[in-house]
Amino acid sequence: MIVDFVTDFAKLLSFEPEKVKSEVISHGDFDEIVIWAKKADVGRIIGKEGSMVKAIKTVISGCRAKENKNYKITVKIIDEQ
């Protein structure tokens, strides 16, 4: 559920939403959501001074609390060249 939201949110922010893809990588005690996007879209997804990615992380925290999940989730945005 969280990954779908993050992917859809990133697609809404991008110029080329068809190029945005994401994946969850489990590292034992935390999960990492990796988002791949075109170089021009990476800046839009991160936002000015990280405002958009902070908003994404805030929503993720709310979803974790609602689902009674205690593990950590990180978000990583990678330039797909």
**What is the pLDDT, as a whole number, of residue 35?**
92
The pLDDT tens digits for 6-61 are 889 999 999 999 999 999 898 888 888 999 999 989 999 998 998 998 988 888 88
Identify the CATH number of the domain in which residue 72 sits: 3.30.300.20
pLDDT band at 1 (very low <50, low <70, confident <90, very high): confident
What is the total count of domains within the chain? 1
pLDDT band at 63 (very low <50, low <70, confident <90, very high): confident
Owning domain of residue 31 = 2-79
Taking a C-beta distance cutoff of 8 angstroms, is the pair 39, 79 a contact? Answer: yes
Q: Note the pTM of the prediction, 2 decimals.
A: 0.81
The three-state secondary structure class of 67 is coil
Name 63's Cβ contacts closer than 8 Å, sequence gap at least 6: 1, 2, 5, 69
**What is the pLDDT, as a whole number, of residue 61?**
82
